[in-house]
Amino acid sequence: MKNLLMIFLLWLPVAAWSQGAIEVVVTDIREAKGEIRVGLFNNENSFLKEAIDGKVVKAEKEGVTVVFENLPAGDYAVSVIHDENGNGELDSNVVGIPKEGFAFGNNAMGAFGPPSFEKAKVVVKKGSVRQELKLKYM
């Protein structure tokens, strides 16, 4: 039992040391209406399907900032939508073109749809990674 306690106590500083954060600064918000929804993903399979964390803040024309803290070292991708009507989703027209603003990590864009996880990902180690993402409106 003493050995397990000693291992745990030695592991604590290492675990804390490897924690990181992603600061997401969202700019180019068309108007202060609705909400900015930011999703955080940690792998290709769940990208844009199942976020591991999410933040919702009031839209402000001058921009908004959200921070995801206490993240284990690894790869993460961010998606942002300007949910102008507050329905919790990115609205699109009949052919699938978004009616509301959107952005992805690294300001990545896909050719005909969202970018891949690989293009949108950032590597988190210790400390903080900053992503300044500009919303795009079609």
Please state, rounded to an integer, the average pLDDT across all residues of the chain. Answer: 92
Residues 6+ apart with CB under 8 A from 31: 59, 61, 84
Q: Could you tell me the pLDDT band of residue 3, with boundaries at 50, 70 and 90?
A: low
CATH fold of 20-134 reads Immunoglobulin-like (2.60.40)
Residues 6+ apart with CB under 8 A from 34: 59, 82, 83, 84, 85, 86
Estimate to the nearest angstrom the gap between the alpha carbon of 122 and the chain centroid: 10
- Cα separation, 127 vs 41, in Å, equals 18
Asked if pLDDT for residue 8 goes beyond 60, the answer is no
The pLDDT value recorded for residue 124 is 97
Confirm if 118 and 44 have CB atoms less than 8 A apart: yes
Residue range 24-78, pLDDT digits in tens: 999 999 999 999 999 999 999 999 999 999 999 999 999 999 999 999 999 999 9
Residue range 70-125, pLDDT digits in tens: 999 999 999 999 999 999 999 999 999 999 999 999 999 999 899 999 999 999 99
The pLDDT value recorded for residue 17 is 55
